[in-house]
Amino acid sequence: MRFHPAIIVVAALLGGCASSGPLGSETLAAGARPGTARVVIYRSNMPIALAIQPDYVIDGKVIAGSQPNGFVVCDLPPGRHEVAVANSAISEDMFGTGSERVILQLRAGSTTYLYAEPQWALVSIPKVTLKAVGESQGRADTASLHRINGACGAA
């Protein structure tokens, strides 16, 4: 039996999608744990960028990969935190509106949503940037996405 190369490539790319785990509508109904602030980083599906999955990093610690159709939840102590995307050193963005690194000043009981958006590149590897969105948009956007298990002690 002979496999067509395109089928193998598509199967490999789809294998990286967040297709299991609880949905955002189930997971994010409860707020942050008492005395903490919540950060939700999410990415929707952009078929052409499925292979681009750099890590999310909070305060220098890798917490999860940026899987399409997925989100990661971190309950953190209030205060200043740096959230970043570990893009390839040769990444470039052509039309980017976000940033690879954001500084957050978190308050206890608050929830901050960051949208991870793939940025197209002309001659190099695309990258993923972060953009803060309002809570109502973040809740709506993550309702049908799947939770990614992260290494940040998520709720």
Q: What is the pLDDT of residues 23-69, one digit of tens each?
A: 888 888 888 889 999 999 999 876 666 678 899 999 999 999 999 99
Q: Is residue 95 part of a domain?
A: yes
- Residue identified by tokens 């496999």 is 3
Q: Is residue 54 part of a domain?
A: yes
- Give the mean pLDDT of the chain: 79
What's the confidence (pLDDT) of residue 119?
A: 80
What's the confidence (pLDDT) of residue 98?
A: 57
Q: Given a cut of 70, is residue 149 above it in pLDDT?
A: yes
Q: Regarding predicted confidence, which is higher, 27 or 134?
A: 134
pTM assigned to the model: 0.80
The rounded distance, in Å, linking the Cα atoms of 26 and 40 is 14
Q: Is residue 117 part of a domain?
A: yes
Q: Is residue 155 part of a domain?
A: no
Strands (E), the chain: 37-43, 55-58, 61-65, 70-76, 79-86, 101-106, 111-119, 127-133, 146-147
Residue 146 pLDDT grade (very low, low, confident, very high; cuts 50, 70, 90): very high
| Mean pLDDT, range 79-98, rounded to an integer | 71
What's the confidence (pLDDT) of residue 19?
A: 58
| Count of structural domains within the chain | 1
Q: Is residue 21 part of a domain?
A: yes
Q: Is residue 103 part of a domain?
A: yes
Q: Is residue 152 part of a domain?
A: no
In this structure, the chain runs to a length of 155
CATH of the domain at 61: 2.60.40
Range of the domain at 19: 5-147
- What SS3 state is found at 141? helix
The rounded distance, in Å, linking the Cα atoms of 132 and 95 is 17
Q: Is residue 26 part of a domain?
A: yes
Sign of CA dihedral 128, 117, 115, 151: negative
Sign of CA dihedral 102, 142, 67, 121: negative
Q: Regarding predicted confidence, which is higher, 142 or 155?
A: 142
